[in-house]
Amino acid sequence: MPATDDHPWWRSAVIYQIYPRSYQDTNGDGIGDLNGITERLDHIASLGVAGIWISPFFKSPMDDFGYDVADYCDVDPIFGTLADFDRLLEAAHARGLKVIIDQVYAHTSDQHAWFAESRASRNNPKTDWYVWKDGKPDGTPPTNWQAVFGGPCWTWDARRQQYYMHNFLPSQPQLNVHNPEVQQALLDAARFWLDRGVDGFRLDAINFSMHDPEFRDNPPWEPAGRTITRPFDLQHHTYNQSHPDIVTFLEKIRRLTDSYGAVFTVAEIGGPDPLPEMRAYTKEGVRLNSAYSFDFLYAPELTAERVRASLGNWSGPGSEGWPSWAFSNHDAPRCVSRWYHGADRPRFAKLTNALLLSLRGNPILYQGEELGLTQVDVGFEDLQDPEAIANWPLTLGRDGARTPMAWSRGNTYAGFSEAKPWLPVGDDHEAASAAEQERDPDSVLNFTRDFLRVREASPALRWGEVQFVDAAKELLIMRRTHGEDAVTCVFNLGAEAAELPAGLNLGSEVLIASGWDSGVSGQTVPPYSVALLRG
């Protein structure tokens, strides 16, 4: 469907996330690269998605695998060159795919030239580009703020005789985004990529980009009823993040992206109560286009109640903001392993992919979800994630979701690389590889392609309103309507068969279904099944 003023290309667009280290290696070093993405664009285009989001490929010491940026305007050699990126961009556009890249505005690497200058003295041109603060009289850190990856938010620097702030690793110093010069430098970096032709930005941890200038201590958070794996979980993060002035910076970003046309901006919003920030950051027409939270990414189970509650937060007009949704990504365990423990993973993967693609908003499909890939159990000796290593064995870490993409069976490392990959290939991933599933018309891959074709052809599924039908147990029934187009979506999220509400008219035309072995008929909905019907 062509873009219009009411429905620009990004509104309801399905975005395919690529973690470049793990997508395709073309130079034999065991690490994926930009040329590998280019090589696999036909696979992505065949899915029917609107665009790709590429996780960071910028120059970096890789302490946090690219989210510690040492140069916003250059490609790290392990991924290739700027010329490689330009070829990728051209090839994607030739296939009708938009290209979205990460922007990390809350912090840089400690190897960034800006930080090297800032830490050199207290009176240089970039002295206030990062968050520096004297310690307390007894030498302890300025505040009680705790970092996401463990320990205080503060590290002592002997050069300046001050502490610098970091919300994540000590090698990720916090930018002082309150500083207009820093804001302009970040906008200049965005312009660099816009000038090359990118179609949008995913803004990493953007609610961490500004702190409380008064440096007040965070209040404690009672641990009762929660699993605590780090000191970060013992505070309400009132003052080290989420400052109200962030929205003013977002308005500057929006003015810049608007000057380049229909550029898509989506924010990652973490935290226990993300909804107010999501709404504030996506105020219609003046801030970002969309935002996503961790509603599903860290949910321990998938329930009809959770879906109704999450989607119900975005049931109003577009002016309230437009959500994006992700069930899995590079930071969270894959949903088919997190939510399902039975023997028929492909059946469950079809269900979750169908549900994600039926939600009102922008679905973000993580690489391998189209195959139903499972979470990999990475042994301690193979761990790469600093958070997983620090907290082992209490947390799963992020490595199990970052393992290499499975392209084929019976060759070296599932077709990802001829060298040993930076993370191991999952034991069951070769059997679920893209090449294997291509040959099976009933595979997760082919079902996901078919579902995306149904979605693309339906205004109701792309932009329509949502109404829920009262149903028992884990039966989720949504009606999506837009103009004359109406689709009823039926999902049984439970392990037991469920009965449809008496008198419910599902519609006469089955658009797509999975798990209904005898056809979509009768009043009984099989376990872990889905059906979309017209009318």
Span 479-524, pLDDT tens digits = 999 999 999 999 999 999 999 998 887 777 999 999 998 778 888 9
Rounded to 10°, the helix 345-358/444-456 angle is: 20
| Active site residues per annotation | 204, 268
The SS3 assignment for 505 reads coil
Question: 378 Cβ partners below 8 Å, 6+ apart?
Answer: 388, 397, 399, 400, 403, 423, 424
Biggest distance spanned by C-alpha atoms of the chain = 77
Rounded to whole angstroms, the Cα distance separating 441 from 368 reads 18
Quick one: how far is CA 1 from the chain centroid? 25
Report the half-sphere exposure of 367 (CA within 13 A, side-chain side): 27
* 127 secondary structure, DSSP code: T
The pLDDT, as a whole number, for residue 391 is 78
Distance spanning both ends of the chain, measured CA to CA: 20
d(CA 245, CA 210): 8
Chain segment 153-196, per-residue pLDDT in tens? 999 999 999 999 999 999 999 999 999 999 999 999 999 999 99
Integer angstrom CA distances of residue 534 from 378, 466, 487, 489: 44, 15, 5, 9
CA–CA distance, 455 with 373 (Å, rounded to integer) = 22
- CA–CA distance, 15 with 164 (Å, rounded to integer): 36
In the chain, the amino acid numbered 307 is V
Q: The whole model's pTM is what?
A: 0.96
So what's the pLDDT on residue 262?
A: 86
Q: How does DSSP assign 220-288, residue by residue?
A: B---TTS---SGGGGB--SSSS--TTHHHHHHHHHHHHHTTSS-EEEEE--SS--HHHHHHHT-TTTS-
Write down all domains in the chain, each with its CATH number in brackets: 15-108+179-213+239-452 (3.20.20.80), 464-534 (2.60.40.1180)
pLDDT at 5: 62
CA distance 7 to 318: 10
Angle of CA points 306, 311, 316, to nearest 5°: 150
528 phi/psi in degrees, rounded to 5? 50, 50
Please tell me the predicted confidence (pLDDT) of residue 396. Answer: 64
The two three-digit tokens of residue 330, written as one number: 């590079």
The token pair at 318 is 């577009």
pLDDT of residue 3: 63
Query: What confidence score (pLDDT) does residue 189 get?
Result: 98
Q: What parts of the chain have a pLDDT lower than 50?
A: none
Please give the pLDDT value at position 4. Answer: 67
